[in-house]
């Protein structure tokens, strides 16, 4: 099977498929017992990300179990600040931590080691392309500059990313330099993933929803636009999904402003608005992950609503954010069966 025949890639090229292709954000993760077993073997989370044997294995686990239409590289958005020597670590019960950066630290950042540091990740992409079934789309990814910057400024995640927002107001030039650097090294990283065999890539802006209109344009739109332009200048046929979680009405022009082929939608986006966005091109989403935890009728009803409103246009069925550790693997089986038979009407 050629790349152009892979279903997710067909939708990214503007086609409408019925039923739509389906994959789930964080489909390789803690809800799967086989993932938990591999994770215990790995030691640290970053060791798992940087060990191709293990990263390939956990990427393939949900494909073997469920046969999703796409596999997404198992890695993390914070490998970029780790490559920038910010001492990234993942603490059990606390999540990611790193050394916070200030304006002087931003001025000293050296992007040169990034590519060599991430060679194990690129090896994982290359191996995945040879080991995946021919019909399975391979997705690479990275974090958007704004979201990655929020962790770099605070040194950890916060409920509203106030440290990064405050830093951006107080030190706009330094913050602008940080966003530009992250955009440039992330674009290089995406190109390397595409060259290694990724069919398409996704840019995750998980904290876009905390920004006001002006800040969204400056910190979310412009850096992603810079990234996509950089990737396309070198790989004109690249297919790119941009996911700005929580952006709401600001998504109305997000595709056009950034140049993304498809936009990911979180579960708070009304389906009536999603249908309007779909008139401009493919959309991806947007089932509430809690419906997968709930299962039963709640899960079926959520799936059916999305298929009813968005199934007649270019759609990649997905969650509105990552699957949670509490999800029952049997509920994922239920989800796939429901999507693939086209909901209740088929």
What tens-digit pLDDT sequence spans the chain (346 residues)? 676 689 999 999 999 999 999 999 999 999 999 999 999 999 899 999 999 999 999 999 999 999 999 999 999 999 999 999 999 999 877 789 999 999 999 999 999 989 999 999 999 999 999 999 999 999 999 999 999 999 999 999 999 999 999 999 999 999 999 999 999 999 999 999 999 999 999 999 999 999 999 999 999 999 999 999 999 999 999 999 999 999 999 999 999 999 999 999 999 999 999 999 999 999 999 999 999 999 999 999 999 999 999 999 999 999 999 999 999 999 999 999 999 998 775 4
In the chain, domain spans: 3-262
> What integer pLDDT is reported at residue 103 of this predicted model?
98
Give the contacts of 81 (CB within 8 A, at least 6 positions apart).
Answer: 88, 98, 148, 151, 152
* Catalytic (active-site) positions: 26, 30, 39, 76, 151
Report residue 305 as tokens. Answer: 């609503």
* Predicted local confidence at residue 55, as pLDDT: 98
Which residue reads 């995946």 in tokens?
A: 132
Task: Tell me the C-alpha distance between 77 and 142, whole Å.
Answer: 5
CATH number for the domain running over 3-262:
3.20.20.210
Q: Cis ω on the peptide bond leading into residue 159 (within 30° of 0)?
A: no
Cα 316 to chain centroid, rounded: 13
User: Which parts of 78-221 fold into alpha helices (H)?
Assistant: 79-83, 103-108, 114-117, 119-131, 145-154, 162-170, 172-196, 213-215
Which residue, chain included where needed, has tokens 């789930």?
Answer: 24
Q: How far is CA 293 from CA 28, 64, 183, 319, 323, in A?
A: 16, 21, 35, 12, 9
CB 202 within 8 A of CB 264: yes
Question: What is the distance between the alpha carbons of residues 231 and 63, in angstroms, rounded to a whole number?
Answer: 28
Amino acid 1: pLDDT: 60
Q: Give, in order, the Cα–Cα distances in Å from 189 to each of 13, 154, 158, 217.
A: 22, 24, 26, 23
The pLDDT of residue 342: 87
Residues constituting the chain: 346
Q: What is the pLDDT of residue 4?
A: 63
d(CA 56, CA 51): 8
User: How far is 29 from 71, CA to CA, in rounded Å?
Assistant: 12
Q: Which residue has the tokens 């962790």?
A: 151
135 Cβ neighbours under 8 A, 6+ residues apart: 1, 5, 6, 7, 69
How high is the pLDDT of residue 346?
43
């Amino acid at each position: 099977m050629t790349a152009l025949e892979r279903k997710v890639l067909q939708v990214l090229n503007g086609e409408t498929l019925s039923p739509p292709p389906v994959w789930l954000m964080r489909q390789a993760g803690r809800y799967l017992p086989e993932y938990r077993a591999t994770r215990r073997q790995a030691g640290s989370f970053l060791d798992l990300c940087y060990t191709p044997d293990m990263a390939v294995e956990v990427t393939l686990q949900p494909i073997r179990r469920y046969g999703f239409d796409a596999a997404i590289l198992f890695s993390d958005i914070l490998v970029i600040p780790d490559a920038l020597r910010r001492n990234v670590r993942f603490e059990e019960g606390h999540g990611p931590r790193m050394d916070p950066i200030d304006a002087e630290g931003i001025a000293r950042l050296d992007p040169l080691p990034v590519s060599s540091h991430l060679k194990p990740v690129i090896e994982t992409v290359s191996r995945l392309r040879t080991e995946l079934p021919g019909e399975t789309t391979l997705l690479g990814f990275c974090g958007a500059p704004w979201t990655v910057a929020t962790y770099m400024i605070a040194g950890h995640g916060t409920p509203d990313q106030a440290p990064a927002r405050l830093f951006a107001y107080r030190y706009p030039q330094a913050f602008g330099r940080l966003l530009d650097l992250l955009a440039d090294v992330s674009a290089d990283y995406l190109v390397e993933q595409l060259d290694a065999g990724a069919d398409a890539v996704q840019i995750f802006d998980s904290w876009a929803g905390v920004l006001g209109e002006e800040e969204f344009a400056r910190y979310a739109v412009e850096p992603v636009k810079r990234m996509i332009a950089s990737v396309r200048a070198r790989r004109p046929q690249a297919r790119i999904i941009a996911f700005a979680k929580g952006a709401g009405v600001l998504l109305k022009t997000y595709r056009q402003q950034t140049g993304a082929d498809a936009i990911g939608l979180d579960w708070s986006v009304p389906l009536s608005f999603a249908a309007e966005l779909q008139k401009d091109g493919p959309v991806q989403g947007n089932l509430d992950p809690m419906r997968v935890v709930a299962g039963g009728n709640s899960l079926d009803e959520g799936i059916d609503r999305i298929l009813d409103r968005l199934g007649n246009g270019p759609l990649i069925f997905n969650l509105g954010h990552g699957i949670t550790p509490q999800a029952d693997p049997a509920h994922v089986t239920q989800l796939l069966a429901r999507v693939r038979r086209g909901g209740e009407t088929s």
